[in-house]
Amino acid sequence: MKKFLILSMGVMMFACNSDDDVNRNNPYLIDPLVNMQLDLSLPQYNPLNFPGNSILLNSQGIKGIVVYNIDNSQYVALELSDPNHAPNVCSRMEIDGIEATCPCPNENNTYNIITGQHVSQPNLYPMQRYNALRNGSVITITN
């Protein structure tokens, strides 16, 4: 019985795979220190009180962070630097609705900001995700 328990625990440890593993293995992006709180009672964060809205935080992350309200209890915070090439002068993605697009010439990288996945090539690196947790009227974003 003891061997079975140890074997089961070993299998479970190797079977579990975190989505963050993909972000950690991305050779193009660093993992910048992000630790901030957004008070939704402040005017600059008011759009996040309504599902389907997003805001851009230009002074955070590598090239900025987009924060998106899914349903007032679930929020996503994603890096705006295109995850599929090294950061450069044109790699800051532009947001249009729920899509983030890299404006670099000869790039067709477009991502869904709810999932972070590339819209047409799922084998590419997804957008780098930060933790976003709402507690009362404050969203805490960390990594």
Terminal Cα-to-Cα distance of the chain (whole angstroms): 39
Per-residue confidence of the chain (143 residues) as pLDDT tens digits?
A: 444 334 334 433 333 444 445 456 899 999 999 999 999 999 999 999 999 999 999 999 999 999 999 999 999 999 999 999 999 999 999 999 999 999 999 888 999 999 999 999 999 999 999 999 999 999 999 99
pTM above 0.85, yes or no: no
DSSP 47-64: GGGSTT-EEEETTSTTT-
What single DSSP character describes residue 29? -
- CATH class of the 20-142 domain in this structure: mainly beta
